[in-house]
Structure formats: structure tokens, C-alpha cells
Structure 1
């Protein structure tokens, strides 16, 4: 049943992204569509600069709102107040903010049964403001998004619902509850990956209930599958693994132009959060500079630990060695890869690690944490336990000091990256689809 209708639910879509989740969602949808499936992909908000792809219809809340009848809109207006009344105080912070930083609750819409036309107009103005992202209205947005998606599902009647990460799980569960549509939850990261044992208990509950309700779960690695089994108590036979891939259009460093940089540069690229292990990168840097004094370090990305990492580097006497770029779009990230000598991914808990594959595609030697999903499928790289900064430093020093070694590792990494693609991911997911069609 290749022409089956798939409703994919996501929270972000390129080029308007905060990390690897949106990239993975687009590439999965693109390759699923190329296999002959019809994909409706809904996110909270589209920006008008998204790529049009055959077989994919992009939808957002504004577009769905236009499809709804007056009764459905009135239902959403009532639901809005119910959501606001039910949000507990424990949801007033999110893992995407610094711990303990309280967020203000969205004022939402005031419901009045005497003036439904006015309320419909008011909600129609509010709806486009549910813009995805990870701001202070995150929990309100998620709950409202789930109700809107469930109404969409009733209209388009998909054969399968495929939801990406916890922000979409409520929407998928709502559709399963109301229409019993087969539901697949795609796990790109869990709350344990993001925050360890100290994560948000409400998010863990949403994840656990989603996992229990779903018909199947797709994880991006065996590493993540084990977390779902061990931390959430889910039967491993319910979980399929489909490793991420990389776009075949990714180019090597020579395609991004020459540069005049002579000093070696070691790169960290990712969110500067606990999960990504930036402190281990900085601590290893202090050991590397003793052997390679002309080395420089770039931390590309943003996150709640950024200021702390700047302070740590300064405390270790590394202030002059570090450069901080903030978040980079895809083009700037590719150019940065081409300028660097080594890429380090020191993640504490990494469900996959797309940036490692991107770096490899640029002939860049990669040193990555064993506590990552990507380490399961790549072999032309060096690996270490995230806490072992001595091992990390030794590997980086060896690569920087021995040019032939650096060149050989980079070339082998490039060749290996070319064998890892999104079509392989899509075919594994299609096998899961076929069990319901």
C-alpha cells in the first residue's frame, strides 16, 4: 500500500530549526515520500521559506484553522480555557530553560458563551501565535496543538500517525484515542538524554504514557532503545531502531573554498547544555594547549550553559584560545567544518549525533563519545568515554601533531559518511508502516 496517507507531526521544520530534530524530520519525510507514501506534515507554524517537496504537504495551525468549521472552532475555544485551568504550576518551567527559571503562563483566550462570534475571532488571532519553539508558553502550545491536530486527523483520515518527539506525543495519543489510528512514536531524544535523572517529571510522564499507548516506537539508536526499555519500562519488542542518515548532497571541505587559517582549530558544535558535555570539551582543551600551544577552540551553538563555559574557560586560563559563535545556520556550520582540524562530540547522552556525520562528510577527523547512537554505526573515527578527558586530549593531540594520521582519518571518515544515508532510514520505517497496512 505504497500510496498510504501518513500524518507526520513535528515541532520544527527546516530552515527554521534549533537543532538536529528538524533536519531529521524533513529528511525522513522526504525519503518516505520518495518511496510512494503521501505525507501530510504538520508543525505549529510555517514561515513561508520551507522547501516544496513532491509527496509532502506542509501544514501548520493557521492552515488547519482555515479548514475547520464553526462548530470545530467553537470546540477549540472551549478547550482553550480548559487547558489554561488545568495547567499545573509544575509546568511553569521547561528543560529548554535554566533550572528553576519560572516562566509566565500564557493568558490564553477568555471564553464567553454569550459572544461566540467574538471569541472565534479572538482565537483566530491567537492561533497563529502558537509558533512552536521552546518558549514560556511551551506547555500551553503543546496542549492546544494536540487538539488542533486531532481535528485535522478527523478530516484527512490518515492510515498512520507518525509523531516526532515528546512535544507531539499528546497529539498522537489524542488521535489514537478518538479514531484508533495506528500510531508510531519516533524518539529522537528522551528527557533522560536532555537532563539526566533531574529532568522534568511531567515530560517523563508524557513520554511514558505515549510509549505505552503507541502501537510502535522507532528510536534513532540502540542506545536510545535501551533507555526507553530501562527508564520507562517499555517492552523492547515494541521498539524498532532506525539510525539517522546524512544527506547525499553534503560536500567535502574542498567545495566550501580555501581559507587562510594556519593554526589548528578544534570544533564543538551543538547546544551548550548538560546533554552535550561542553564542560568536558573545555577541560580537555586545558590539556591540549600544553602540547599544541597554537591550537584554537570554537564553541558553536547556544544554550543555558554558555556563560558558565565562558567562565570555566577563563578560570582555566583559556580565554584567549576560545571563540563562541552562537547558533549557526546550516550553511555557516558547513563552512565552519571546512575551517577546522578536528571535530569533538563529548556528549554525556546522545541519542544519535547528526553533527558527527556532517563533520565526517567534510573530511574532518571526528572524536566522539561512546555514549552516543552514532558511535554504533561509524567506525572511521576515534571514540572515548565522555568523562575521560585524558583520553580525549591524547586523541586530539595525536591528530594535530601527525598530519598523515589526520589526513587518513579524515579521508576514511568522508568515505564512511557516504555510505550512511536517509533512504536507509526511510526503508526501515517503511517496514514498520507495512505492518499496519
Structure 2
């Protein structure tokens, strides 16, 4: 089985859990005899390619061909993309409209020979102001990649909304079945105040897909109810965690205080404000506790101001965004890990904490709650319950040891090999159905 996979990030260059999940998945797929070609907007050359061949979209020249016979070209194949931005590298929207009018509509019959127009775009691979523009351009590159790799893949797999148009483009060019992976919906990120443009892309991607993989039953229900995707088209495959080889000894702690950690994007979705309010309640009962907020995001300044107003700034530490071994070290320094997410499709970080023998507290509004028995679960909005859970784990050593021990045993069984085996089954189903349709 061979898969052409589109993602937005790949370790070691990641901004969150999506890249971590993609890496674990590719390793698991390799062990299930699935060959992966993984396309990212921008590759840096230091990616681990033992389990997947990484293709740098920034190195791909998109090729536009116009012939007198009026054959379909890339521009026509991309006509389903409706984004208010420049869709072709290095030219303005006005210039793009002029080129399209000249080459596609009015000028095509005037050409007596084949005309070729090549463009290359260097993607930032970031989540910046021109994100929508890069999403559209990435789709155009995806079509070219699918054309160049004709015969080298059996199925297409696109991760999250950023790559859905790329997946659709590759499907239209190659005729191969498409699987889209929903790691987080716009409802998770924005509540009911959804970005209609992102919602439309998510919906289009799932409607065009042959199968949709959701990372939890929580996410699956949102996909069915909020996007109107048929239930028999959506399958749940829970994420997993990778256990690294033997590493360095745990870092030495410079303080005797208990350490309670929040690690994730400091955004509405992750519930950082509830963590702060619970911390203030705990410190009224147990002064000798330190709280760490590791991450970055648009709520950072708000959280810092709230910590100052509550008078707990001397017990709070902001590390900024952590990655790689720094994440593992942070877990090893922690006595409790807290994930108070308002809406979490899955949540890999609690598994990483449990892997480090750290007891965890998670919100009931998280997909990972579906697979964990030995995690304390509270409603994200119940600050008193969250404070009580933290207090219990830092005050009663036997309770903390029990959750740490049982949690580590539990998470050991959540392997990417098993998740990848389920994903391979999805591939086999859509490939077989596609072959039947072509008969």
C-alpha cells in the first residue's frame, strides 16, 4: 500500500500536536507495510525520512499547459477554489485575472502550439497573515505533485483543513481515493463564532473525501452534526503516543516546591484562564506550589495580566513555546500535568505526560478522555473541581503515585502501530471501492 500524504508541518519543525501526530502516524504506517510520501509546504532537510519520503512543496514547479485542443489544464482543475487572495505565485489578483482571461477563456483558440507557464512558490510553512493564500497555492502544487508521481501511490491522505484543497486537487488529477483526517474542527478553535471561510474549506474537504478519519468520537459527532457528513463516511481512530528510546537522566530540580504544568497553545480552546483561576485557589491552601505555563498564543498578555491581578506572579512561570526534548524535560520536572481544554478533539500532551510518570488532570470535553481511565477528569469550567484535583495530587503522595503508575501502564498500550493498522484498513476500503467504481 502506498499513500500520498499532505500535511502542514513535520518534526522537528512543528507548532503543535499536528506535526507530532503525523510523525507518529508515519512511523506506525511504515511498520504496517505502508509506504508514505509526505508533502509539506516547506521542508528544511533535517526531517527524519526513515519512515516517510518528505517532499518539499517549495521545490515544485507548477506547470500550466494551454493547447489548441482546449485540453484541461491546472487552472481549470483549480477552479473550485474560492479564496479572496492571489492564487498564483508572484502576481497580483488583477494580473491573475488578466492571465486567466487571456490564456483560458478568450485566447485558447488562438494558440497554434502548446504554451507552457511555470511558477515556483516558496512557502513559509507558517500560520501567518497570508495563510489562506498559501493554502490555495499549496493546492496548485499538490496537483502538480500528483501528476509527477502518477502510478506511485494508491490513496491520498490530507491532514486538517490547511491541506484539504490540496487533497481534492490531487484526487481530481489522479483519480485516486481521498481520505481526510480531522484533527480539530473550526468549532473547537472558535466555539460558535466560526470563521466561515475555514468552515467552508473543512466542509468541502470532507464532502469530497471518500472517508473521513476523526481523532475521537467527540470530533466524529461534530463532523456529523455540524457539517452534515453521513455517519457511515466518518470513522474514529484515536491518536497514540510514541515512546522514545532510552534518553538522558531526568534533569535536576532547582526547587523543592511541587510543580504543576500547563503545556499547549495559550488560546481560548486550551482553557489557560481556567488554569490560572484554579492556581489561585490552590495557592490559598498550599503556598509552596509553582505553576508553569509552557506555550504561546493570543491570550498570553491576558493571562499574564490576570496572574498579576491575582497576586500570584511570584508562583507563576512562563516558559514560552517548547519543542522536542524541552517538552520531555518539562514533563520530567512536573508533579502534575493539567489540560483544561474547552474543546479538545484529542490531546496528545496528557499521553506524553503519563509516559513520563506524571499524573494528569484533563477536561471531560476532550477526546483523550475517551481512552483514559487513570486520569482525573473535570469539566473545564469547574474551577473549584480543578483546584481540588490539583490539591489532592500534590497533597497526598500515595494518590499521585497510584495515578502515575496506573497511567503509565495504561498509556503503554496506546501505540501508533495499532492506530496505523486501523488507518491502513481505511485505505484498503476506499481503494477497493474506487476500483469497483472504475470497473
Q: What TM-score do the two structures reach when normalised by structure 1?
A: 0.87
Shift in CA distance, 70/188, structure 1 to aligned 2, threshold 3 Å:
closer
Which structure has the bigger radius of gyration? 2
1:328 aligned residue? 322
> What are the superposed Cα offsets for residues 255-299 of structure 1, whole Å, 9 maximum, x if unpaired?
423324200111000000010000110111111001111111110
Shift of 1:340: 1.1
Aligned to 2:12: 15
Paired with 2:59 and 2:90, the residues of 1 have a C-alpha distance of 23
Aligned equivalents of 2:281 and 2:326: distance in 1? 28
String of CA shifts for 1:133-160, please: whole Å, max 9, x gaps.
Answer: 1011111100010011011112213210
Q: 1:256 to 1:71 in 2, by over 3 A?
A: farther
2:367 to 373, 385, 389: 373
> Tell me, what secondary structure is at the counterpart of 1:58?
strand
Instruction: Answer whether contact 1:250 1:361 (CA < 8 A) is retained.
Output: no
What residue is the counterpart of 2:356 in the other structure? 362
Q: 1:53 aligns with which of 50, 54, 62?
A: 50
Please say if residues 381 and 409 of structure 1, whose CA atoms lie closer than 8 Å, have aligned partners that are also in contact. Answer: yes
State the SS of the aligned residue for 2:274.
helix
Q: 2:231 aligns with which of 228, 236, 244?
A: 236
Instruction: Please say if residues 15 and 50 of structure 1, whose CA atoms lie closer than 8 Å, have aligned partners that are also in contact.
Output: yes
1:145 corresponds to which residue? 138
Q: Which residue of 2 aligns with 1:434?
A: 428
The answer as to whether partners of 2:63 and 2:116 remain within 8 angstroms in 1 is no
Match of 1:288 among 267, 282, 288: 282
What does 1:18-417 correspond to in 2, within 5 Å? 18-54=15-51, 56-65=52-61, 71=65, 87-88=83-84, 108=91, 120=118, 123-124=119-120, 127-128=121-122, 130-157=123-150, 158-249=153-244, 255-417=249-411
Gaps of 5+ in 1: 92-104
RMSD: 2.8
1:79 CA displacement: 5.2
Aligned residues: 406
Paired position in structure 2 for 1:100 = none
Q: Is the 8 A contact 2:65 2:117 kept in 1?
A: no
Native 8 Å contact 1:270 1:276 kept in 2: yes
State the alpha-carbon separation in 2 of the partners of residues 52 and 212 from structure 1. Answer: 32
Write out the 4+ residue segments of structure 1 that deviate beyond 3 Å after TM superposition: 68-72, 77-80, 105-114, 116-120
SS at match of 2:60: helix
Change in CA separation of 1:287 and 1:106 when aligned onto 2, cut-off 3 Å: farther
Measured in 2, the distance between the counterparts of 1:78 and 1:181 equals: 17
Q: Contact conserved, 2:74 with 2:140, CA < 8 A, in 1?
A: no
Segments of 5+ residues of structure 2 without an aligned counterpart are 103-113, 433-439
Offset, 1:386 = 0.5
Q: Partners in 2 of 1:333 and 1:251 — Cα distance?
A: 16
State the secondary structure of the residue aligned to 1:40. strand
